[in-house]
Chain A
């Protein structure tokens, strides 16, 4: 790793950039213009966020709050757990543990810096990660493994049997740093009693692990408070998704990201509820005016991202879609599968509910919620099994009136690369053109953004979509 990269911690650097930015966001236009002069690279990510108005500003503050929590955790006597995007942080908040969701802070580095997280990605390989291991964990994790981050106290993941590459990154980190490790493990099925019982047994064992390693006991009232907040958040998300079905969709493209990043960082926390309220208000305003959420105001096409987004510098991917009049109909990350969601009707057994009557009911609710998070829900079994990736993608595409699908991941997505060709073929049979991107969502060196954009252009032109 370059010596200058070792001067400061990665999570500290992100925080020190976001902290002043989130404060300035409330300033006057003149103050903003002045600030942009001092942030020539960061401007590319900051400007589009702030252009979204109140939700953008709130999102920025939310990210900053998260990083502040991480950087001040130990001084406040709290333990830190590294975890993954498909693991709900709500249980960490219930146990007063500070979560670090690696994929999100890898993405923030990739979006914000021209150098991305390249140095940390490469460092992880230097100490033993395979070159095609998933970049989403490897970026931020490289920094933590190099000792360039707050010290980690425990490792939590829920991807064994879902994404080996992901689970392996966490297992490696635990072995390398000699930290306690817990893995939630999901069977291939979903929605049957046997599987649901396994989810709960495993989740209860994890709570015991977290209690043992944090020294904190699960507080029933605190858990209830968090679940009630989640209940409220799910209702707001359902409102957003109902409006997302309109043609043109009134949701600005970036709202998809605001939504899922908020959930990955602050599920069950009031900060995220406020963000959702602001997004719902703005979307409702657009919907009532019959306005498209795209900046051009003209929706030409609706694309569903059947996997994840592409986190290249300065929101290149979102900007490209927006510039071409393509509405982003969300992806695997956007959907939470609450029982009030508009897309679950055709997928019986796929959703979860929230019960707060007793401690057991609450643990059952949070365990089932966790089991329906992105990826751990959709790609746990054969892709054409009931409720899995194929059915889910078709149901979501249908309800949101998508006209094509785009697959994007990283070379580390061993699970989806293992089936994406037959999956795409099945999707095409249902009339949806599918574009398979060969880029790396978190590492532009695998395929430059220019090449990725060229291939997107080619797809939309060759298939006669634009």
Chain B
């Protein structure tokens, strides 16, 4: 069963995407976790998180983005320029951060040089940086505008009932991911961090029904078998900037004494951790859920809140050490990781802060050496 999740988590154009397209159905890519997947699900469209995996050079990314830009959007642009996202019928760009929002400009401009790489539905989704009432109101209006644009472009109808049904479906997946987190919190842990992360990443790509159905089976199997993979390993947590690199978690767990039992990453359970209200106006519920409960550093001025969440996860999962990573040029996570390091170390929790490039682990040796040193410190 894990093979299906790994296929989705480690391939840009995996089997699930191929099967979906073979049935003549539409796919829309999103750059950020602020885009409510329910909107597309309600329209029978598959929403997928855009990722930069399988990139082997940056010639196109570097031609449009400047030098001081995170390698994640550059990798996405690279894949787009190579035609690897040809399966997309649409793309939604959000101002998750400055580098990601400029994917809008760079992708469109690259489209002038590389014919056919810009999906027919190319949409800028303007997410505010605050959860004050006027911020939530703005975001609600943005969701309504997005719904109208999707309806018009794809000739579909997204009504309140279908949206509410999609919220119910998505919430089921959220509850299952929470169950998985509960299993990871037990003394025996039950599942490696690598597998758990692959599951979470796969959830951003797979059709929701297929994801929940298979996740449910897996959880049931874990609950029945109760595999003990913890032993005397150190229980670790990973956090930081955008990362869908299964290889990074795997690299950590290659150390004989390391086990990742929790994450706080943009890909992962951070955004699936809370359910969306299934009653009342669905758009308001989505606005409250996706923006109001957001704990991403782009929501400035909420450091204490984010630290509080980390402390909760650390306590619940029995975390003994924290590995913080950020992609080079990520100011938001880069500097906030330093604050976390200061405050968590003061609580006696060892922390390792790593700055790295996104994509193939070209710095594997350097990172492994630092991980080894960190593990030595923990022992």
Where the two chains meet, the residues of A that have a C-beta atom closer than 8 Å to any C-beta of B are 127-130, 132-133, 157, 160-161, 163-165, 167-168, 170-172, 174-176, 181-183, 185, 187-189, 194, 198, 201-202, 205, 381-384, 411-423, 425, 438
Contact = CB atoms under 8 A, between A and B. Distances in A.
Nearest to A413: B68
B63 A421 contact: yes
11 contacts: A128-B341, A164-B97, A164-B331, A172-B339, A185-B129, A205-B132, A414-B331, A420-B66, A421-B63, A421-B64, A422-B64
B331 A412 contact: yes
Interface in B323-379: 326, 328-332, 334-339, 341-342, 355
A205 B130 CA distance: 12
A129 B67 CA distance: 19
B331 A187 contact: no
B129 A414 contact: no
Interface residues of B, number: 50
Interface in B86-117: 95, 97-99, 101-102, 104-106, 108-109
Interface stretch (B133-141, B223-231, B242-250): B133-141
B282 interface: no
B338 A175 contact: no
A382 B124 contact: yes
Contacts of A202: 130, 132, 134
Given A414-B99, A419-B105, A168 B335 contact: yes
A382 B98 CA distance: 11
Contacts of A168: 297, 300, 331-332, 335
A417 B130 contact: no
B280 interface: no
Contact of B130 (A133, A185, A413): A185
Contacts of B298: 160, 164
B128 interface: yes
B304 interface: yes
B134 A198 contact: yes
A421 B66 contact: yes
Given A130-B326, A383-B105, A384-B105, 16 more contacts: A128-B339, A129-B335, A130-B331, A133-B331, A133-B334, A171-B301, A175-B336, A181-B301, A183-B129, A183-B130, A202-B134, A414-B97, A418-B99, A418-B101, A420-B66, A421-B63
A405 to B, nearest CB: 16
Contact of B105 (A128, A160, A165, A422): A422
Given A164-B331, A183-B130, A414-B331, A176 B339 contact: yes
Closest 3 CB pairs of A and B: A128-B338, A418-B102, A417-B66
Nearest to A205: B132
B20 interface: no
B303 A171 contact: yes
Contacts of A174: 301, 303
Interface string B137-150: 01001000000000
B4 interface: no
A388 to B, nearest CB: 10
A171 B97 CA distance: 15
Contacts of B95: 161, 188
A418 B65 contact: yes
Contacts of A423: 105
Nearest to A155: B301
B69 interface: yes
B128 A164 contact: no
Contacts of A415: 98, 101-102
B126 interface: yes
B241 to A, nearest CB: 11
A198 B300 CA distance: 18
A193 to B, nearest CB: 12
Interface of B: 63-69, 73, 95, 97-99, 101-102, 104-106, 108-109, 124, 126, 128-130, 132, 134-135, 138, 141, 297-298, 300-301, 303-304, 326, 328-332, 334-339, 341-342, 355
Given A133-B331, A185-B130, A165 B98 contact: yes
B130 A175 contact: no
B110 to A, nearest CB: 8
Contacts of A160: 129-130, 298, 300
A175 B303 contact: yes
Most buried by B among A133, A160, A164: A164
A417 B339 contact: no
Nearest to A167: B300
A201 B69 contact: no
A185 B128 contact: yes
A183 B99 contact: no
Q: Most chain-B Cβ atoms within 10 A of its Cβ — which of A165, A167, A168, A383?
A: A168
B66 A418 contact: yes
A161 B301 contact: no
A194 B101 contact: no
Nearest to A411: B68
A63 B97 CA distance: 34
Contacts of B129: 160-161, 167, 183, 185
Contacts of B98: 163-165, 414-415, 418
B68 A132 contact: yes
B335 A130 contact: yes
B67 A417 contact: yes
Contact of A414 (B69, B108, B297): B69
Contacts of A384: 105, 108
Of the candidates B73, B99, B104, B304, the one having the most CB atoms from chain A within 10 angstroms of its own CB is: B104
Nearest to A189: B126
B135 A185 contact: yes
A419 B102 contact: yes
Contacts of B97: 164, 414
Contacts of A181: 300-301
Contacts of A416: 66
Nearest to A130: B334
A162 B92 CA distance: 19
Contact of B301 (A182, A201, A411, A422): A182
Nearest to B326: A130
Nearest to A417: B66
B68 A417 contact: yes
Given A414-B69, A417-B69, A422-B106, A128 B335 contact: yes
A83 B306 CA distance: 24
Contacts of B126: 187-189
B338 A205 contact: no
A201 to B, nearest CB: 4
Contact of A382 (B63, B105, B130): B105
Nearest to A134: B331
A416 B355 CA distance: 22
